[in-house]
Every structure is written in structure tokens, then in C-alpha cells.
Amino acid sequence: MIDGLLERVRRQKPLIHHITNQVTINDCANITLCTGGLPVMTHALGEVEEMVASSDALVINIGTPTPDQIDAMVAAGKKANELKIPVVLDPVGLGATALRTDVISRIVDSVEVAVIKGNAGEISILAGYGGSVKGVESVGRYENIEQPSCDAARKYGCTVVVTGAADIITDGKRLLRICNGDAMMGRVVGTGCMSASVLACFAAVEGDRALSSAAAMACFGIAGELAAKREDVKGPGTFKPALMDEMYNLSEDVVKRYARIEEVALI
């Protein structure tokens, strides 16, 4: 199903423009490089439109939102839309503060996004189901996150990716479940942000965004599994560099062997 997509990323080396938070900006740049893309990170209002114009995908992450940066997100997003460059949105901490609700409203009102990636709390809130986010963590249990995901996908005309023990991906027509990954990924700050970078690398090279997202989440999850198994990994500190290594070393063969993608009945 996702055969050849990783190779396509590596052959095309898509330039991924990020407008992202200060916390994980370095990790996002490095995982982009390890996936096979080229990262560029700038939120200067004076150049984001020009920068996105030479990019192959745009990641918008609201982790540490400041007024100037939000303006840059909207400007870059509109330019990306104009040029048919896919936009991946990471609504970090949506629900934690009113500001984040406003920022996301402003973005989705003016920018057409290709992929929205969030945790269960963020996506549930985005879909209008309510939810609870403490800081940037999803709180509580979401037994049926499939329904809000499909609703959000249809509402925004995009692909929705919900990260969790299993990842849910839906474009409103199909629903995929990716069962790759390791619990250690939740012990490192920024694996959520990094997954948006990986999603953007694949969205840049494949127009079917449910498919590109499945490939991205499977590859990233497999890299996490391989890293967690390494003998030199002794905790979250050594896990992070190992995750980068494994993403860089990932081959189509390994992806084919370990990808666990299930098609789930439509809702």
C-alpha cells in the first residue's frame, strides 16, 4: 500500500518549510533530514511567502505562539494554498488556552490544510466534541476517537491524523489504523512535532494524503520500535538520537516487513 513512498521522499528531497515552536525546532529539522527531506525553519513575516514558494510542503505548529509568528503562519499558509503546496497543521495544546483556540480558528478560516495531526484531546476539541488538554498533553480517555476524526476530516476537507498507542488516519472516506510505534516515543519531548515533519515529507511527494500519512506514521513508528530495541538505548535520553539514526537507516524492505496498517470499516 505504501510501497516506494519512502524511496520517493529520498529521491525528491522535498524542502519542508516549518513555522514551529522554539522547543522542538531542532528535532523537527533533524528528523526531516533523517527522513530524506531538507528542512528550513523561518517565521520572519518578511520572507515566509518567498520561502514557502520554493518549498514542497509547509508545517505549521502552534506550540509557542507569538503574534508575529501567527501572522507569518497565515501569510505562508495562504501562499502555500495559492501554489498548491500541502500544509500540515499541528494544533499543539489546542484546548489548553483561549489563545490557542483563536489561533487555530484564524488558521483554518484562512488556510486550507492538507493534513491536521494532533493527539486525541486536540482532535476531539477541533471536531467540536470537547476534550481536555493539560499543557500540551491529552488528558482522559477517548474511546471512540474515530468519529471526531472523520468529522474533522470532512469539516476541513483534509486528512486527520490522531497520534496515540495506535494512530488513526482518515480523510473522511477511508479510515486507517497504524499500529507501529513504541511507548518510549511518549517519554521524549517533541516526537509529536517530529511526526508532523515526517507527515510533511511524505505529503510533499504523494497527493493521496491518507496514503502519504499512513506511510509517514508507519515509518516513524517503525523507527521508534527499532530504536527502543537497541541495546545502547537506556532511557529517553539515548532513545532520541537512536530514533534519528533508525529513521535515517530505514529501508523500504524494513518498512514492508514491519508496517502494521489496518483499513477500518467506514463510519
Q: Name the residues that contact a copy of itself, by CB under 8 A.
A: 15, 17, 21-27, 29-30, 33-34, 38-44, 46-47, 50-51, 54-55, 63-68, 93, 96-100, 134-137, 187-190, 230, 232, 234-238, 240-246, 248-249
SS3 150: helix
Nearer to a copy of itself (CB atom), residue 126 or residue 242: 242
Nearer to a copy of itself (CB atom), residue 153 or residue 250: 250
| Structure-block grid coordinates of residue 105 | 480558528
Backbone angles phi, psi at 155, to 5 degrees: -60, -45
Nearer to a copy of itself (CB atom), residue 67 or residue 84: 67
Give the torsion through C-alpha atoms of 22, 26, 29, 30, to 10 deg.
-160
Q: How far is the CB of 141 from a copy of itself (least distance, A)?
A: 16
Q: How far is the CB of 191 from a copy of itself (least distance, A)?
A: 11
Nearer to a copy of itself (CB atom), residue 234 or residue 256: 234
Look at the block and give the residue holding cell 500540515. Answer: 88
Sign of the CA dihedral running 26, 31, 36, 39: negative
Those residues with Cβ within 8 angstroms of residue 168's Cβ, 6 or more apart along the chain or in another chain: 145, 146, 149, 160, 161, 162, 175, 176, 177, 178
